[in-house]
Amino acid sequence: MNFEQEMKKKVEQIQNTIMSYLPEETGFQKTLLEAMNYSMRAGGKRLRPLLMMETYRLFEGNSKVIEPFLAAIEMIHTHSLIHDDLPAIDNDEYRRGRKTTHVVYGEAMGILAGDALLNLSYETAAKAFSLEPGNHNVERAFSVMAQKTGIFGMIGGQSVDVECDKTEFSKEKLEFIYCLKTSALIESSMMIGAILAGASDEKVKVIEQIARKVGFAFQIQDDILDVTSTMDILGKPINSDEKNHKTTYVTLNGLERAREEVNRMSKEAIALLESLEEKNEFLTDLILYLINREK
């Protein structure tokens, strides 16, 4: 099986796991549940659960305790997309080739569907407590998930990004945003995989460093694609950063410098991964694929 076939198979498995944790669309709150599932089913690369699962495998994890976390991390990611797209924030009408949640279900339901997915991520991850009661690694994974999502992670980064639309801008601030807004959730994914598999604190720290570089490179690649790709390929409008007068790594440093940075980060991440005695060849290929992707 080549990388692309293997990737397809793994994404399918993760997709099934995620779907099994989505709520049934019944009861008085049916619209809310539909709006949540609409967003979760929109597809996407399932990159974060995939990285979590492969890091779990790297450290030879082999229990069902990982499954609720695979779904939970994708719920957090989808929560952030729904709220980012809202009229008061990025005001985006398309995402992954489909209308955004608030366009289909209205703004109030968009806000609540985002809230509900963020909360459901914790409700879902908490199912791991019943699978292995009193397992402190599950508790640690939970704490990391909450920290990396919050004010010193994804949501904190997003708040600075929102403010930067109207304030002065520096290289330092841009790197802060990329670290928090994009890398934090990738760090969370890979660290949870390592922690649940029982990796040492020292190794969890190496994984965090790898993930930070992967997230950073991933975000710069996103900026590059925004100016070099087409709407057909991306499934969302291109040149949206320019349209929104948004400062990105590309507008700040130019396309060539951006490509060099992606290349450097990518090499550093792989070198760190290879420094570990544990091996997962697919994880190496996956990181290279994600960083050098064309959509």
Q: Do 195 and 141 form a contact (C-beta atoms < 8 A)?
A: yes
Q: Name the residue nearer to a copy of itself (CB basis): 117 or 210.
A: 117
The minimum distance between CB 61 and a copy of itself, in angstroms, equals 19
* 79 counts as binding a copy of itself under rule CB under 8 A: yes
* 242 counts as binding a copy of itself under rule CB under 8 A: no
Indicate which single residue of 6, 115, 241, 278 sits in contact with a copy of itself (rule: CB under 8 A).
115
How many residues sit in the footprint of a copy of itself (CB under 8 A)? 59
Indicate which single residue of 129, 169, 282, 289 sits in contact with a copy of itself (rule: CB under 8 A).
129
Alpha-carbon distance of 211 to 194, in angstroms, equals: 12
Residues 160-179 that bind a copy of itself (CB under 8 A): 160, 162-163, 173, 176-177
Residues 134-163 that bind a copy of itself (CB under 8 A): 134-136, 138-140, 142-143, 146-147, 149-152, 155-160, 162-163
Alpha-carbon distance of 7 to 4, in angstroms, equals: 5
* 118 counts as binding a copy of itself under rule CB under 8 A: yes
Q: Name the residue nearer to a copy of itself (CB basis): 25 or 278.
A: 25
Q: Do 220 and 262 form a contact (C-beta atoms < 8 A)?
A: yes
Q: Name the residue nearer to a copy of itself (CB basis): 86 or 206.
A: 86
Indicate which single residue of 119, 228, 239, 263 sits in contact with a copy of itself (rule: CB under 8 A).
119
**Which residues, 6+ apart, have CB-to-CB distance to 280 below 8 Å?**
54, 55, 57, 58
Alpha-carbon distance of 141 to 219, in angstroms, equals: 24
Alpha-carbon distance of 167 to 94, in angstroms, equals: 26
C-beta atoms surrounding 244 within 10 Å:
12
Indicate which single residue of 29, 200, 228, 292 sits in contact with a copy of itself (rule: CB under 8 A).
29
> Which pair of tokens denotes residue 31?
């619209």
Indicate which single residue of 14, 17, 18, 36 sits in contact with a copy of itself (rule: CB under 8 A).
36
Indicate which single residue of 5, 16, 28, 201 sits in contact with a copy of itself (rule: CB under 8 A).
28
* 59 counts as binding a copy of itself under rule CB under 8 A: no
Q: Is 46 left (phi over 0), alpha (psi -120 to 50) or beta?
A: left
Cα–Cα separations (whole angstroms), residue 279 to 36, 137, 215, 240: 37, 22, 21, 39
Q: Name the residue nearer to a copy of itself (CB basis): 176 or 282.
A: 176
Q: Do 100 and 94 form a contact (C-beta atoms < 8 A)?
A: yes
* 68 counts as binding a copy of itself under rule CB under 8 A: no
In one letter, which amino acid is 104? V
Q: Do 16 and 154 form a contact (C-beta atoms < 8 A)?
A: no
The binding site for a copy of itself (CB under 8 A) comprises 23, 27-29, 31-33, 36, 79, 83, 86, 88-89, 106-112, 114-116, 118-120, 122-123, 126-127, 129-130, 133-136, 138-140, 142-143, 146-147, 149-152, 155-160, 162-163, 173, 176-177, 180
